[in-house]
């Protein structure tokens, strides 16, 4: 497996933060088109998932925040303890957890978009 330099990993971390802030701002602006309690009604939530553009927006937010969050957790855990096997375990564990979270969230978005719920 290719090993990335930590400076590249931190650039990805900063980039995902900037991207997530931008996309979450769009998400909030789209939510402001309805009253808050109306936007949480089942029919409105499902209608949002059925719009392909909004489903893609939610997917991008999911991926960016997952990458950013699990990389941040990895950095915190690596600051607590060092060692080649520990660092490798933490890195692979965070990557596996991130993939699992994105897969689970993507499954929800896809099922709701296709009307399977």
pLDDT band at 108 (very low <50, low <70, confident <90, very high): very high
| DSSP codes, 36-103 | HHHHTSHHHHHHHHHSHHHHHHHHHHHHHHHHHHHHHHHHHHHHH---HHHHHHHHHHHHHHHHHHHH
Summarize pLDDT for 82-96 with one digit per residue, the tens: 899 999 999 999 999
- Extents of the domains making up the chain: 6-113
Percent of the chain residues past pLDDT 70, beyond the cut: 97
Which residues, at least 6 apart from 110, have a Cβ–Cβ distance to it below 8 Å?
A: none
Model pLDDT, residue 4: 74
Q: Check whether 78 has a pLDDT greater than 70.
A: yes
Q: How far apart are CA 39 and CA 35, in angstroms?
A: 6
The pLDDT of residue 111 is above 70: yes
- Residue with the bigger pLDDT between 23 and 34: it is 23
CA atoms within 13 A on the CB side of 87: 8
| Contact assessment for residue 17 and residue 75, using Cβ atoms and an 8 Å cutoff | no
User: Once rounded to an integer, what is the mean pLDDT over residues 54-62?
Assistant: 96
pLDDT at 64: 97
Q: Mean pLDDT across the stretch 66-83? A: 95
Q: What is the pLDDT of residue 2?
A: 59
Topology at the third CATH level for domain 6-113: 3 helical TM bundles of succinate and fumarate reductases (1.20.1300)
Give me the mean pLDDT over the 14-29 stretch.
Answer: 96
CA angle 73, 77, 78 (to 5 degrees): 115
């Amino acid at each position: 497996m290719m090993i990335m330099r930590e400076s590249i990993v931190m650039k990805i971390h900063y980039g995902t933060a900037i991207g997530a802030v931008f996309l979450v701002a769009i998400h909030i602006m789209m939510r402001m088109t309805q009253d808050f309690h109306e936007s949480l009604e089942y029919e409105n939530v499902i209608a949002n998932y059925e719009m392909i553009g909004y489903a893609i927006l939610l997917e991008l937010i999911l991926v960016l925040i997952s990458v950013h969050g699990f990389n941040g957790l990895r950095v915190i855990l690596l600051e607590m303890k060092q060692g080649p096997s520990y660092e490798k375990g933490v890195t692979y564990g965070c990557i596996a957890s991130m993939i699992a979270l994105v897969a689970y969230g993507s499954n929800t978005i896809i099922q709701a978009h296709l009307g399977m719920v």
